[in-house]
Structure 1
């Protein structure tokens, strides 16, 4: 998606670059029953937890600026990878 001024939009329309057909194009027909056994799978749904941290741990990450929660998460992921390599999951 791109921002454009009214003048730019008018120029694009004059050049025939705007799609003004509001009807969707017909798609490929799917065989009957195609979606019958479909399931939504979310492999990366995070779990929300309440976590108590020592002040110096939190302050260390927070002092590095925005993204401190993500950095803490990355440290925990690295710990898990280091302790599960070579083990069956």
Structure 2
């Protein structure tokens, strides 16, 4: 989903007081009592040979293509692990 430049400009000029937070519940003590710290999984940088057409396709999907490649590989790994 892309946001038009006009919409971005309108959002930039909006003051914090004009933002409606009424549909967002406040975080109280019970939330933080049950909250759990989740650390991200460390990633390793590797050199990987991928067919040019595959890489071009992922890059054409836009920003975050490396994250999507990782997600595809992770899904494959999970499926194979269940066998």
TM-score, reference length from structure 1: 0.46
Normalising by structure 2, what TM-score? 0.49
RCO comparison, higher one (Cα < 8 Å, 6+):
2
